[in-house]
Amino acid sequence: MRSTRWGKNRGAFVVKEPVVSIVIPTRNRPALVVRAVRTALAQTLAEIEVVVVIDGRDDATDAAISAINDSRVSVVSLPCPVGGSEARNIGIGKSRGEFIALLDDDDEWSRDKLVRQLELARKSTARYPVVTCRLIARHPSVDEIWPVRRIKPGESMSDYLLCREASIRQGEGFIQSSTLFVPRDLMIQVPFASGLPRHQDWDWLIRTSVHPGVEFLWVWDVLVTYNVDITRRSVSSNHSIGASIDWIEDNHFVSRKARAYFYATQIAARCKTPSMFWSVIRNTIRHPRAFIIAMGLALTPRSFTRFLRGRRILTHA
C-alpha cells in the first residue's frame, strides 16, 4: 500500500491544475533531494507540481520533504523499494500535468529550464514533442558541457547514444534524464522498463524514438547541472556484466553498428572469460573503429581502465 501526502498538510490538495509535473525519485539522500525540490520550485514557470517518490521506507527523507512549506510539493512513500524506473512510473501515474519533467535527486536546473522547454514544445507540430537540452557534467575536478552535438537527420537514437565516432569519451551524443521534458500521455504509453538494473535512460530513449508521432527537440543551451560524482558512478557500474549483455541482446531497436560500439565501450573492458572475449570480437569485428576500441580495452590491464574511467575517457553509462 502506498502512502501519498500532498503539500505540507495531509489532504490539502492544490486547486490549480499544473502544466508541468516534476517527478523526482529518491531514497536515503534527504539533503540532496531537498536541494532538487528547491531547484524545481525556483522555476520561473509557476504552473507546476513536484512529485517526490520515496523508494522504500525512509523516515529521514520523509521528514526533510515535510519541512518544505509549499503546497505544490507532494510525496509518494513506497513501503518497499521498487527501483528507479518503477519509482518514476509511479510518480508519473500520480502526476496531473500535461507535461512531465524528470529530475534526479542529485541534479539541479537553471531557473528558466521549464519555461524554455515548454515554449519549444508548444511551437512543435509533432504529436509528441520530447524536449531536451545541454548540461554541465560536473565532475569533482572539472566541468564539461554535454552533448557535443544534436542527433543528425536520419540518425537512429541508438547510433546517437552509443556510437563513439569522434571520441570514446562520453558526451558526444548524450541525453540524460534530468534534461527531459515529455508529454505525459507519451510517458504513460511508453513507461520506463521496470526492474531494469542498468541502461534505463538509454532503453527508454531508444524505445521512445521509434514511437509514432515522437520528435526530439533541443534547447541548445545549458539548463541542467548533472553532478557526476564517485557515488553516482559506482551505483551505475555496480551491476554485473550479464545485465548489460542481457539488455543489448534483448533490444531489437539497437542497430548493428550501435551494438558493436556498446560491446566495445561497455563490455570489452569488463571481460572476465574467454567466451566473453570472443563474444566481443564477434559483435565488433565488422566495424573497424569499434573493433579497435574493443581490443584496446579488452587487452588493457584493468588497473589502467580504471584510471581511464577516472579521467572520464571511458563511460559508466
Least confident segment among 15-24, 221-230, 305-314: 305-314
pLDDT over 70 (residue 309): no
pLDDT given for residue 232 in this prediction: 53
Q: pLDDT tens digit string along 22-38?
A: 999 999 999 999 999 99
With vertex at residue 184, the alpha carbon angle to CA 78 and CA 175, rounded to the nearest 5 degrees, is: 90
CA distances in angstroms from 78 to 83, 87, 235, 309, listed in the order given: 11, 8, 21, 34
> Which DSSP state fits 267?
I
pLDDT given for residue 3 in this prediction: 55
C-alpha cell at 222: 545549458
CATH classification number, 3-232, choose in 3.10.450.50, 3.40.47.10, 3.40.718.10, 3.90.550.10 = 3.90.550.10
C-alpha cell at 161: 547514444
pLDDT given for residue 308 in this prediction: 55
Higher pLDDT, 108 or 8: 108
Cell 536515503 maps to which residue?
28
Q: What is the pTM of this model?
A: 0.89
Higher pLDDT, 101 or 306: 101
Q: Is 304 left (phi over 0), alpha (psi -120 to 50) or beta?
A: alpha
Domain boundaries, the chain: 3-232, 240-310
Q: Is the dihedral of CA 85, 89, 94, 95 positive or negative?
A: positive
Q: pLDDT tens digit string along 192-248?
A: 999 999 999 999 999 999 999 999 999 999 999 999 874 554 444 445 799 999 999
